[in-house]
Structure 1
Amino acid sequence: MTRAVGRPITEVLSRYRTEDPAEAADVGRIRALTESAADPWLRSIPLHVTASALIVHPGSGRVLMRWHVRLGSWLQVGGHGDPGETDPLGVALREAAEETGLDDLVPYPDESLVQVVIVPVPAGGGEPAHEHADLRFVLATGSPDAARPEKPDAPLRWMTLPEAMEVTAEANVREALRRVGTLLARTGAGTETAGTETGTARG
């Protein structure tokens, strides 16, 4: 039987349709994790769940990217659940607000996942190499200029989707951005063209 703490994860996954065999395999591993782990969010286990978000400004069709020093790349925002948290979307919303200062974030266009992927994380910060079972959502803001970096070494930058695809070093993030582009096109987003940058940009 699914452990209670993992139930919100399995419920989110039950509504999600994978797009390729690799993603289906990752979903299978995450389902197995929720069955076997007392708490699939625990950072102390080699594979644990994280939740992240690609933040968009529908008016301009831009996406907000964050520089990750440890991985040396521009990525989406997000991370680990805090003790007692079990809802993936709730974790993504909290992490996104903390990392960007945006207080108007909402799921876009609904609460559906946009991607599920297991990614390797190199050793660092006192942690051994491990894997993140990352559940990814899309969040929207109506006040892009209000974004502020959480710390100086984690600058934020609003980018067009082609710009974001060019600067990220992670293939799985480029795939997430491709899906975001499809979503934005389907919802008719992207009527402005002005660019905005927050923090110190690094390429």
Structure 2
Amino acid sequence: MTADSAARTLTPLAEILADYRPRTDAEAADVDRARHLAAGEDPWSRAAPLHVTGSALVIHPASRRVLLRWHLRLQAWLQVGGHADPGEVEPLAVALREAREETGLTDLVPWPDTAPVHVIIVPVAASPAEPAHEHLDVRFVLATDHPDSIRPEDPAAALRWLSVEEALATTEPNVGETLARVTWPG
């Protein structure tokens, strides 16, 4: 098999991870696990104890604000995102769909490009509906020009625009790490 034919057999997730460069030792360990997962049968399967999710920080570049969503189960302000729907295999497509559903924003675009900004494995505590597991979260940044058009998909999942400083003080440290990687204009 040539290098070209091997590259054609890579999944979209494997392609993203092949080009991704971790910034910390902890992230490098997560990316190593992610590459192993991507080489397996179905990295998106929710039945697996480690599976892929796609998420995004939604920003309004002109005002340098970030949109966070209240996550009722975790009792925390987090980025938007979630699991793939059947047939979805591209992390950015998952993040875009989830962001549109959760925020009501229809003009979301990758910022400043389509590359992920953070790859991280996060633990998920058990619930009555599922055992403890881990999410391999591939994170992106999405921008909107219409920040006042937000509408939460669920009243219990409030949305809130925050300055970078407010967001860093409000959210989980791993989301703060993602936020620190945002490229702002100017």
Percent identical among aligned pairs is 60
**Which of 152, 170, 173 lines up with 1:171 in the alignment?**
173
Distance 1:127 1:82 in 2: 18
Distance 2:105 2:128 in 1: 27
Deviation at 1:102, TM superposition (A): 0.4
Runs of 4+ more than 6 Å apart: none
SS in 1 for 2:87: coil
Unaligned runs of 5+ in 1: 189-203
Say if 2:76 is the partner of 1:73.
yes
Distance 2:137 2:153 in 1: 21
Distance 1:52 1:42 in 2: 16
1:60-99 Cα offsets, whole Å, 9 max, x none, are 0000000001111000000000010001100000000000
Query: Residues 54 and 138 of structure 2 are in contact (CA less than 8 Å); yes or no, is this contact kept in structure 1?
Result: yes
SS in 1 for 2:114: coil
1:94-122 Cα offsets, whole Å, 9 max, x none, are 00000000000000010011101000000
TM value normalised by structure 1: 0.86
Distance 1:54 1:173 in 2: 9
Question: What is the match of residue 199 of structure 1?
Answer: none
Question: What is the match of residue 155 of structure 1?
Answer: 158
Distance 2:105 2:150 in 1: 6
Say if 2:114 is the partner of 1:111.
yes
Question: What is the match of residue 28 of structure 1?
Answer: 32
Distance 1:171 1:165 in 2: 8
SS in 2 for 1:22: helix
Please identify, of 8-17 and 99-108, the stretch whose mean Cα deviation from structure 2 is larger.
8-17
Aligned residues: 181
Deviation at 1:15, TM superposition (A): 2.2
Question: What is the match of residue 133 of structure 1?
Answer: 136
RMSD: 1.5
State the AA in 2 paired with 1:66: R
State the AA in 2 paired with 1:156: L
Deviation at 1:16, TM superposition (A): 1.7
Deviation at 1:125, TM superposition (A): 4.5
Deviation at 1:124, TM superposition (A): 1.3
1:140-182 Cα offsets, whole Å, 9 max, x none, are 00000001001010000000011011111x21111111112xx
SS in 1 for 2:167: helix
Please identify, of 7-16 and 110-119, the stretch whose mean Cα deviation from structure 2 is larger.
7-16
SS in 1 for 2:129: coil
Question: What is the match of residue 18 of structure 1?
Answer: 22
SS in 2 for 1:45: coil
